[in-house]
A and B are shown apart, each in its own frame.
Chain A
Amino acid sequence: MAITREQVLHVASLAEIDLTEDELERMAEQLTAILDAVGKVSELDLAEVPPTSHPLSVVNAFRSDEPRPSLSRDDVFANAPAREDDLFRVPPSA
């Protein structure tokens, strides 16, 4: 099953990556090959097998609900490319 350029564009928009023309072509080719290989999982009939999302059977790992110190504002913004007062500054969304 070949992945088309349009499918790559759609997935890239879901993944929020602005791929270049060159990358779109290459990605279509490589994803086709990889999906062909990993599609092997569909050979098995696993209708009765439950899925595993996590390797340990830990459930409800709670901690006590007590306030604790957290990062200072300056620490929170320390790696931000742009800050305005106590906000992350970003370009307009419209």
Chain B
Amino acid sequence: MIDTLRLTAEAALGMLERREVSGAELFTAYREAIVAYDEELHCFLTLVDEPNGGGLPIALKDVIGTKGVRTTAGSKILHDYVPVYDSTVAARCKDAGLSLLGKTNTDEFAMGSSTENSAYGPSRNPWDPTRVPGGSGGGSAAAVSAGLAPWALGSDTGGSIKQPSALCGNVGLRPTYGTVSRYGIVAFASSLDQVGPVTRTVRDNALLYRIISGRDECDSTTVEIPTVEVPEAEDLEGVRIGIPRELNEAEGIEPGVADQVRNAIDLCTELGAEVDVCELPHSVEYGLPCYYLVAPAEASSNLLRYDGVRYSLRVEADNYYDMVARTRDAGFGDEPKRRIMLGTYALSAGYYEAFYGQAQKVRTVIAREHAAAFERFDVLVSPTSPTVAFPLGARTENPLAMYLSDLLTIPSCMAGLPGLNIPCGLSEGLPVGLQLVGSQFSENMLFRVGHALERAIGFDTVPERMRR
């Protein structure tokens, strides 16, 4: 009997190696868990019936192109899109013997913080199905927490890996920009998008990051990276940890979240780290406005490719221009339309300098502030999300309220920095996420700190209502 709720990827890999279990048996076990729970949780948009490798199964967010397996990006406009080639990350998973379980739900084009913008309906949080799993990668995060996949990949533009991991109580890494190939990924904002692992433990996360990372000829923004180390140390001797005031005292952080984060910070000191407060004067206050100009601007350009000619949906019309405009009106949901419009406006004649140009300069300010902090510290710590998982429908009427969900994850994304979420406790019976941010290419340091804290905190990643 395989307990998919408790089995770590690392333990499963060990069982495979010792031939205590076959890849097919593992695949079947996760399929049975999906049958049992996914009707309620709706983590998956497409399931694969037969294992395509002898190794451990994996779930991939539905913005990750998979040859022969439908890839919708959570959008009606790609309802029937079946990629004719594998994304590099999907190919690397295949090469490592990982077997695709299915494609997980996402806000449309990864635009959102709850999966409620998915054209195929929201996913639900395994800790409390009346609440959101976070987003955009809520399907991957909920699937891992509910034992429907041993691990998964997400994609992160402004928090879409870290925030759902926080809300579902698991480990999510947004890697340094340029460490993981974007080839074959449905593009949202190309200077920000990164693929990363969603797992139950930090060691699992490092193992999966090792599989997917590294330079790829097909993505000219990727670079050579340091050897990935699976963490072992359980202390934090010699590690310098900074507590940015603005990220820890921002308006809207729930008291229960602040309490658990404070406990984790105290643990850092007990484990031997040097802890001190620091400042990121403009990064939080101006990070969100900066992001909501840069990302929509890039999205407005990237999403022009959905024109009714090359992919999936077309709404017929008598002339070409009407066909394109009607296809895009019918195929995009409200949020992509809002962002396309916002981005087009910010790039248009007369507004470019005041909006997009100015946002690019703010981005420089944010990068400089973080660089200054990393002269004194190895890792910056804060809550990942200001709140625990919120009820479905709570923020759908007000786009700006939804945007605030990513207030604390966005600044480091703008600077291309890696960030790791680990669960650090419960508030109101729901997981609280701790965000660890490092300098560029410092994933090994994040894994080290994350692993030591994970051991010391002893958080049980199995949702309380699912424990047996």
User: A residues near B, CB below 8 A?
Assistant: 3, 7-8, 11-12, 14-20, 23, 27, 30-31, 33-35, 37-42, 44, 46, 49-56, 58, 61, 63, 71, 75-76, 78-82, 88, 90-94
Contacts and interface: CB of A to CB of B under 8 A. Distances in A.
Nearest to A14: B344
What class of interface size applies to chain B in its complex with A? 35 or more
Given A37-B289, A79-B311, A52 B223 contact: no
Contacts of B289: 37-41
B364 interface: yes
Contacts of A8: 341
B28 interface: no
B320 A91 contact: yes
A50 B111 CA distance: 28
Given A46-B361, A81-B308, A91-B320, A16 B338 contact: no
A3 to B, nearest CB: 8
A71 B84 contact: yes
B263 interface: no
B82 interface: yes
Contacts of B290: 41
B355 A51 contact: no
A52 B371 CA distance: 14
B362 interface: yes
Q: Which of A7, A34, A42, A61 has the most CB of B within 10 A?
A: A34
B329 A19 contact: yes
B358 interface: yes
B358 A54 contact: no
B361 A49 contact: yes
B356 to A, nearest CB: 9
* Main SS class of interface, A: loop
Interface in B379-421: 399-400, 414-416
* Main SS class of interface, B: helix
A55 B178 CA distance: 9
Contacts of B178: 55-56, 58
A19 B320 CA distance: 17
Given A19-B329, A52-B360, A63-B217, A11 B314 contact: no
B362 A27 contact: no
A81 B319 contact: no
Contacts of B316: 91
8 contacts: A11-B344, A16-B328, A18-B322, A41-B362, A46-B358, A50-B364, A90-B320, A91-B317
B342 interface: yes
Contacts of B362: 41, 44, 46
A51 B361 contact: yes
